[in-house]
Chains A and B, each alone.
Chain A
Amino acid sequence: MANNPLPWTLKPQADIKPPEKVGMVIDLRRCVGCHACAVSCKTEHAVPLGSFRNRTQVVQRPDSLKLSFVPMICMHCEDAPCLNACPSTAITRELDGRVLVDEVRCDGNQECVGACPYGAIFFHPDKQVASKCNLCEHRTEVGMPPACVEVCPTDALRFGDLADPADPLVALHANESARPMKPEAKTQPRVVYMGLEPWMDDKLPGVQRAADGEGEDGLTYE
C-alpha cells in the first residue's frame, strides 16, 4: 500500500487527455437527493447565495407516498437555446461540446436566462454577467472529474468522453432508457438521464430561484 501513488496526485499535463466529447449521465435510480453535488459545486465556484449552477429538485411522486430527487445542471445542449438567444454572441460551444459563457463579452442583457428551459443560467450579482455550469473546466483540464461527479455517494452522476470507446459512459449514454430532460425543447443535451419518468419533465421547474428571493421553484422543500 505504501508504494502506490496517491489517487489525488495529478498526472503530468502531457499525460492528461481531456475529453474530446463531453457527456454526462444522471441516474435517477441512484440519486437519493443528498445535495452533495450542489454543495460541492457551490464551494468549488463560490456560487452566490440565491443562485445555483447545480441544484437537486425534490418532487412528490404522483403514484405513491414517496419523493423523487432530480439533480439539474446545465445540459450543455448541442442546440443550445441560450447560445441562440444571446445577442452579444457571448455564449459559445467548445470543441468538446461544453457550452460556455464568455464573461468578458457578456454585456448582461440576460436574454439567455429566460431562454434556457432548464433554469440553468443565473445572472451573477457581483460580476453582473450570465453564469452557469462549465463542467468544471479548471478540473477537467488537469484530469479531474467535475466537482459534483467526484462527490456523489451513489455514483448517480457520471461524466466522461463520448468519443472514447473505452469509456463506460458511452454505453450508459446510448442506453435506450437514457434520455434528455424536456425532450420537447429539442435541445439535444449532452447531459441525459436514466430513470427520468414521463411525468417528471412537466413537474420540474424551468427557472431557479432568483437572488432577490422571488419565485418558488420547489427547491426549498423543508
Chain B
Amino acid sequence: MSSHKRPEVTSDEADAKAPTTLSRRELLTMAAAAGGWTLAGGLGCSIFTPARRGKALEEITSAPSQPTIPPLPGDVIDYRTATAIPTICFGCTTHCGVIGWVQDERVRRISGNPLDPNSQGKICAKANGMIAYTYYPERLLYPLKRVGKRGEGRWKRISWDAALEEIASKMRPLREAGRPDRFVFHYGRDKTKGYTKRFTNAFGTPHRLNRRSICSSNRRAPLMSFYGREFEWESQDIANTRYILNFGGNPCEAYQGGLFILNRLQTARVDHGAKLITFEVRPSATASISDEYHPIFPGTDGAVAMAMCHVIVDEERYDKAFIDRWTNVSVEELAPTLKRFTPEFAEQVSGIKADVIRRLAREFADAAPHCCTLSNRGSAKHYNGYQSDRAIRLLDVLVGNVGKPGGFCLSSLRGWAGRYGQEGLPKLSQPGPKPSGPKAWAPGHPAFEELPAEIKERVSGFPEMWKKKYFGELATPSEYPLSWHWYSMRVGQLVYEYIRESRQKVDVYMSYTLGAAYGYPEARAAREVLASEELIPFHVAIDIGYSEQAALADIILPDATSLERWDAHSTNNYGLIPYTGIRQPLVEPLGEARSVQVILRDLARRIGGGMETYFDFDDMEDFYKGWYSNLPMDWETFKARGIWYDETREPDYELYERPLTDEELVDSEVEAETGRIFKRTGPKRRCIGLRMPDGKAVRGFPTPSRLIEVRDDVFAIAARAVGIDESDPLADPLPTWFPIPGHEQIPTDRFVFTTFKWNVHAQGRTGHLKYQAEIVHSNPLWINPETAKELGLQEGDEVEVTVYRPQGKTYKANEKEPVGSFINRVKIVHGMHPRVVASSHHTGHWEHGPIGGERDRIAESGGPGAGMDPALADPDIAKRMWWSKARGGVGRGVHINDAMPINPAPLVGGQNWYDNICSIKRT
C-alpha cells in the first residue's frame, strides 16, 4: 500500500452525526487570531488557547476528524514566533518540569522549566523522546477492532462511537449483575493522580492492577515500615551532603527522581567535595563518576550495610540521643543482631574487603549528620531485598542524619489533600462528586465465595487490619500481605498466573500504558493468558503505539500522548519544598487520538447506571482548573508558569520535630503510656503527634508509634499469616541479612544474570524513539574480561544464556526445568563483577514499528496500519536506520524477558529481577 491517503472509514462504521464544518486547523487559526497571551516584550510568543475550550467537547469529538498531520519542519525554530508552553515531561517516570516549543502546530523542542524547584531547568536525553513518540510514523491514531483470531495481527478501523458502544455493552452487564469485579483495569504507568481511579471506583471494581511490584515494592516497604505510609520514597538532601553510601542506585541514568539527584550531585562533589561511594555489579554511569566503585556480589548489599552498622555501634559512632528519642529500639536491643555481621563475615559473602567496610563506615559516621545512604534496585530487587534495604536505612538512623541538612530527608510525595507534612499547603483534589471505593470482600460477598477454599481459609485467619481491606487475589494477594499492608502495591507479575488458575474470573480486561506482553517476567506466560479468549473474553488496550500488548487486544483505543493532554502533578522535591506542576496540551491530539481522561469519561457516560454522575464535565481544562481551585495563584498564571510552590516556605528538614499548633491540639488527648496524641473528630480519633519526654508536643513520624519503627512486628505477623516460620529471617522484626537461597554455592560454571537501565531509555517503551535508539539499540551481554577468557569467549561471540528457576519460597521454586534461554552477543567490559553477566532490557521488541521491531506494520494489508497515518512517515527513519539488520548493523536487541522467572520476594512481592542464575554456552 503505497498510497498516502488516509485510511477510509467505511460507511457502516462512520458516525451517524454530521461533521462540523470547521476543521481542526481552522479552529486553531481562529484561536490564534482571538489572541492568547502576549508576554513581556510583545514579541508574539503566545500561550496556546484554542477556541474549542469554550465549546462542548461532545460536538467536536463525535465528528469524523480531518486530521492535519503537521509536516516535517524545513528549518530551525524561529524563537521569535514560536510558542513556549510549560508542561511536565513524560519521557520517564521522574516527571521534570519542561517547556515545549511549538511552531506551525508541531512540537519542536523540549527544554527544562527553570521554575521547577526540583529539576531546576534541567532535562535528560529522554525528554525529547516525547516528540519522537508523538510523531512516530506508526503511532496509533484511530480506533481498531480485531479481525480474525486474537493475536493474528489483522485489524479494521472503527469509529469511536462503535468502539465505545461495544465496550460499554460488555461492561454494563457486569455492573448490573453486581459483579463489577469481573472488570480488570491493568495499567503500566498511570500518572493521572487518581483520575483512572475515579473510573474504576465509579464502576465498582477493586481491580486496578499495576506494576509496582515489577518495579520497587521491595525498596518501598522498608521505607514505609520505618517512616510511615507517607514516605515510600525519600528525598536525600544531595545539595548539602558530604558523603553518600550508594548501594546499587543509578541516579545518573535511571532511578525515580534520578535527574533531581543528578542535577545536585556533581555540584556537591566537584564544588563542595562531597564523596560518593558506590557498590555495583557493573560500571554504570553512577559507579563511573563515583569517588569509589566497589564491585559487589549481587544480593549482599544488606550484609555490607549490617556490617557497617556493626562497626558504627561497636565503635560508638552512633547518635545515641537521636536513637533514644526517635526510634522504637535501643542500641542494646540491636547489638545481638549486629554482632554476627562482622566486616569479616560481610567480606566473605560480598567480596568487599573488611578493612574497606570499616573505613567507609567510619567515614560515613564522621560526616554525619551531613551524610546519607542511596539505594534502589541494586540492593532491593532480590529475594532478600526488603530486609537488605532495611539494613541500609538503619545506617541513616544510627548516625542520626534523618531529616537533617545533607542527610536522609523526607518530603511530601503527592498532590495535597491535607496529609502529613502538608500543613499550610493548598488542598488540591479532583473536583467532585467523587465515587467512593468498592467494599472489601468478606464471607458472603459473591466474589469472596468463589475463591478457592485454601485462600478463604487464609484470609479468614488474617488480623482485622487486613480483613477489612481484602479485595481478592489480584488486588490484594493473600500470599503477599505486605504487598498491600501499607497500600495496594499488588504483585503484578502473578496476575496472569492467578487468572490462569481461576483465582479470579475476568470478563473485561483493559490495558492502559501497559507492556506486560513484552516486559513482564516470563512474558510469554502473560501472552498465553492474554491470547486466551476463555481466560480473557474481552481485551481493550489504550495505547499510543502498536505494542506487543495492544497486539493481543480485541479493541485498541488510540491515546493522546503526554504532549496532548492534561494532568495534575506533584512529586517529592529533592529541594525539600513541596510543589505542584501542570501537564497541559501543547498541541491537539493527532488524528482521532483522545486522552485517557476523555476516553474514560465518555465510556462512563455510555455505561450509565449512575457512573455518569461522576463524569459530568465536558471541558477537560475546566476540570483541571477545578482541581487547582485552591491554588493561591490564578489559573492563567499557573498555566503560563507551569509550576507553583511557596517560595517563603521552610525546607522540610526535621518535619518530625515540628511542634503541634494550639489549633491542632484542640480536642486532643495524650495516651499516657506511649505519649501519642490523639485528636477527636466525632466518634473517631486520629493520631496527630507525640508528647516527648521533654514535654513538647511534636508531630513525630506518621507511623503507628509516631517513632521510626526499626523494629516492626508486621514482618512476623505477615510470616505467620502465610505459614512462614517465625525463625525465618524473612519474618525478622529487626533489619537483617540472609543469603539468597541457592546463592551460597553457585557452581563455578554458573553466573548471576542481571538486567540494567540506560540513561537514554525508560523501561520497554523508548526502544523505538529514534535519537535514543540510535545511541542504544541493542543489549549485548556484558561480561568481565577474565570471565570471558575462562569461558573461551571473545568480543562479539554469539552465546546462549540459559536461566534457571530460583530457590526458596517463590513461584515454581526449585523446578529443574530452566525458565528459558536467549541468544546474545558478548561485550567485554572491564568493570563487570567477574561472577555477573548483564544485559539491558529496553530493546528486543517485535512490535513498535520500523525502529522497535524493524518491521513496517503500516505497509501490511489488513494489519494495524488501518489505525495509523502514512502522513507521519519520516524519511530519516526509512532511509537511515544504520544499525538495522537490513543495513548490516547489529540490529535491535534481544528480547530477554521470556527467560526471566516470575520471582516475587516473599511477603512483599517485589520482583527479584537480579537473582537469576544462568549458564552461558558459545553457540
Q: Do A and B come from one complex?
A: yes
Binding site for B on A (CB under 8 A): 1-2, 5-12, 27, 29-30, 32-36, 38-40, 42-46, 48-50, 60, 64-69, 125, 138-139, 142, 144, 147, 150-156, 209, 211-213, 219-220, 222
Given A153-B122, A154-B262, answer yes or no on A34-B830 (Cβ-Cβ < 8 Å). Answer: no
Minimum Cβ distance to chain A for residue B761 (Å): 9
Cross-interface CB contact of A138 among B77, B253, B259, B774, cutoff 8 Å: B77
Instruction: Give CA–CA (A12, B780) in the complex, Å.
Output: 51
Instruction: Give CA–CA (A1, B223) in the complex, Å.
Output: 34
Q: Is the CB of B882 within 8 A of A211?
A: yes
Q: Is the CB of A67 within 8 A of B831?
A: yes
Given A10-B41, A39-B760, A155-B267, answer yes or no on A66-B880 (Cβ-Cβ < 8 Å). Answer: no
Cross-interface CB contact of B637 among A2, A39, A144, A150, cutoff 8 Å: A2
Cross-interface CB contact of B125 among A6, A8, A35, A69, cutoff 8 Å: A35
Cross-interface CB contact of A147 among B78, B109, B295, cutoff 8 Å: B109
Residues of chain B with a CB closer than 8 A to A125's CB: 879-880
Instruction: Give CA–CA (A31, B890) in the complex, Å.
Output: 28
Minimum Cβ distance to chain B for residue A146 (Å): 12
Minimum Cβ distance to chain B for residue A131 (Å): 12
Given A6-B641, A10-B80, A43-B109, answer yes or no on A34-B124 (Cβ-Cβ < 8 Å). Answer: yes
Please give me the residue from chain B that is nearest to A142 by CB atom: B79
Minimum Cβ distance to chain B for residue A19 (Å): 17
Known: A67-B285, A222-B776. 17 other contacts (CB 8 A): A1-B644, A2-B637, A7-B121, A8-B114, A9-B41, A10-B45, A29-B270, A32-B286, A32-B759, A34-B253, A35-B760, A39-B771, A42-B128, A42-B771, A125-B880, A153-B263, A220-B883
Give 8 pairs: A residue, B residue, CB < 8 Å, sorted on A: A10-B41, A32-B266, A34-B285, A39-B128, A65-B831, A66-B293, A67-B285, A67-B831
Given A34-B759, A49-B770, A138-B79, answer yes or no on A154-B41 (Cβ-Cβ < 8 Å). Answer: no
Residues of chain A with a CB closer than 8 A to B290's CB: 66
Whether, in the assembled complex, B84 has its beta carbon less than 8 Å from a beta carbon of chain A, the answer is: yes
Instruction: Give CA–CA (A155, B115) in the complex, Å.
Output: 17
Given A7-B115, A138-B77, answer yes or no on A213-B128 (Cβ-Cβ < 8 Å). Answer: no
Cross-interface CB contact of B882 among A1, A35, A50, cutoff 8 Å: A50
Contact residues of A: prevailing secondary structure: loop
Cross-interface CB contact of B123 among A5, A49, A153, cutoff 8 Å: A153
Binding site for A on B (CB under 8 A): 39-41, 43, 45, 72-73, 76-80, 84, 99, 108-112, 114-115, 121-129, 131, 252-253, 259, 262-263, 265-267, 270, 283, 285-290, 293, 295, 633-634, 637, 640-641, 644, 647, 758-760, 770-772, 774-780, 829-831, 840, 876-877, 879-883, 887-890
Q: Is the CB of B882 within 8 A of A139?
A: no
Minimum Cβ distance to chain B for residue A142 (Å): 5
Please give me the residue from chain A that is nearest to B888 by CB atom: A213
Minimum Cβ distance to chain A for residue B762 (Å): 13
Residues of chain A with a CB closer than 8 A to B283's CB: 65-67
Minimum Cβ distance to chain A for residue B281 (Å): 11
Number of A-B contacts (CB under 8 A): 199
Minimum Cβ distance to chain A for residue B833 (Å): 9
Please give me the residue from chain B that is nearest to A153 by CB atom: B122
Please give me the residue from chain A that is nearest to B890 by CB atom: A220
Residues of chain A with a CB closer than 8 A to B131's CB: 43
Residues of chain A with a CB closer than 8 A to B775's CB: 35, 38-39, 219-220, 222
Q: Is the CB of A40 within 8 A of B128?
A: yes
Instruction: Give CA–CA (A27, B271) in the complex, Å.
Output: 12
Which 9 A-B pairs rank lowest in CB-CB distance, beginning with the nearest? A65-B831, A49-B880, A154-B266, A213-B882, A153-B122, A66-B288, A222-B776, A35-B125, A39-B125
Cross-interface CB contact of A153 among B45, B262, B286, B780, cutoff 8 Å: B262
User: Which of B73, B128, B259, B634 has the largest number of chain A CB atoms within 10 A?
Assistant: B128
Instruction: Give CA–CA (A27, B121) in the complex, Å.
Output: 19
Residues of chain B with a CB closer than 8 A to A11's CB: 41
Instruction: Give CA–CA (A106, B77) in the complex, Å.
Output: 23
Minimum Cβ distance to chain B for residue A77 (Å): 23
Minimum Cβ distance to chain A for residue B1 (Å): 24
Q: Is the CB of B285 within 8 A of A69?
A: yes
Q: Is the CB of B882 within 8 A of A49?
A: yes
Q: Is the CB of A46 within 8 A of B288?
A: no
Q: Is the CB of A222 within 8 A of B778?
A: yes
Given A69-B288, A144-B79, answer yes or no on A32-B640 (Cβ-Cβ < 8 Å). Answer: no
Instruction: Give CA–CA (A211, B880) in the complex, Å.
Output: 7
Q: Is the CB of A6 within 8 A of B640?
A: yes
Residues of chain A with a CB closer than 8 A to B888's CB: 213
Instruction: Give CA–CA (A202, B641) in the complex, Å.
Output: 47
Q: Is the CB of A34 within 8 A of B252?
A: yes
Cross-interface CB contact of A1 among B108, B633, B778, cutoff 8 Å: B633
Minimum Cβ distance to chain A for residue B887 (Å): 6
Residues of chain A with a CB closer than 8 A to B79's CB: 10, 138-139, 142, 144
Minimum Cβ distance to chain B for residue A50 (Å): 4
Q: Is the CB of B259 within 8 A of A153?
A: yes
Instruction: Give CA–CA (A48, B288) in the complex, Å.
Output: 30
Instruction: Give CA–CA (A66, B252) in the complex, Å.
Output: 14
Minimum Cβ distance to chain A for residue B46 (Å): 12
Q: Is the CB of A34 within 8 A of B262?
A: yes
Minimum Cβ distance to chain A for residue B72 (Å): 8
Residues of chain A with a CB closer than 8 A to B128's CB: 39-40, 42-43
Minimum Cβ distance to chain B for residue A133 (Å): 13
Q: Is the CB of B771 within 8 A of A45?
A: no
Please give me the residue from chain B that is nearest to A44 by CB atom: B109
Please give me the residue from chain A that is nearest to B875 by CB atom: A126
User: Which of B39, B288, B637, B779 has the largest number of chain A CB atoms within 10 A?
Assistant: B288
Q: Is the CB of A9 within 8 A of B45?
A: yes
Q: Is the CB of A48 within 8 A of B880?
A: yes
Q: Is the CB of B123 within 8 A of A151?
A: yes
Q: Is the CB of A5 within 8 A of B40?
A: yes
Residues of chain A with a CB closer than 8 A to B641's CB: 1-2, 6
Cross-interface CB contact of B266 among A30, A44, A45, cutoff 8 Å: A30
Minimum Cβ distance to chain A for residue B74 (Å): 9
Residues of chain B with a CB closer than 8 A to A142's CB: 79-80
Minimum Cβ distance to chain B for residue A215 (Å): 10
Q: Is the CB of B883 within 8 A of A213?
A: yes
Given A12-B41, A60-B830, answer yes or no on A2-B882 (Cβ-Cβ < 8 Å). Answer: no
Q: Is the CB of A32 within 8 A of B252?
A: yes
Residues of chain A with a CB closer than 8 A to B758's CB: 222
Instruction: Give CA–CA (A151, B111) in the complex, Å.
Output: 7
Please give me the residue from chain B that is nearest to A1 by CB atom: B647
Instruction: Give CA–CA (A32, B295) in the complex, Å.
Output: 19
Given A38-B775, A153-B259, answer yes or no on A49-B876 (Cβ-Cβ < 8 Å). Answer: yes
User: Which of A32, A144, A150 has the largest number of chain B CB atoms within 10 A?
Assistant: A32
Residues of chain B with a CB closer than 8 A to A43's CB: 108-110, 128, 131, 771
Q: Is the CB of A150 within 8 A of B880?
A: no
Instruction: Give CA–CA (A139, B41) in the complex, Å.
Output: 17
User: Which of A40, A142, A152, A156 has the largest number of chain B CB atoms within 10 A?
Assistant: A40
Residues of chain A with a CB closer than 8 A to B127's CB: 36, 39, 151
Please give me the residue from chain A that is nearest to B282 by CB atom: A65
Minimum Cβ distance to chain A for residue B829 (Å): 8
Minimum Cβ distance to chain A for residue B714 (Å): 38
Given A34-B124, A35-B759, A151-B112, answer yes or no on A44-B73 (Cβ-Cβ < 8 Å). Answer: no
Q: Is the CB of B267 within 8 A of A154?
A: yes
Please give me the residue from chain B that is nearest to A139 by CB atom: B79
User: Which of A67, A68, A69 has the largest number of chain B CB atoms within 10 A?
Assistant: A67
Minimum Cβ distance to chain A for residue B429 (Å): 23
Residues of chain B with a CB closer than 8 A to A39's CB: 125-129, 760, 771-772, 775
Cross-interface CB contact of B779 among A6, A48, A65, A222, cutoff 8 Å: A222
Instruction: Give CA–CA (A220, B778) in the complex, Å.
Output: 9
Instruction: Give CA–CA (A152, B124) in the complex, Å.
Output: 7
Q: Is the CB of B880 within 8 A of A33?
A: no
Instruction: Give CA–CA (A11, B295) in the complex, Å.
Output: 51
Residues of chain B with a CB closer than 8 A to A46's CB: 72-73, 876
Please give me the residue from chain A that is nearest to B633 by CB atom: A2
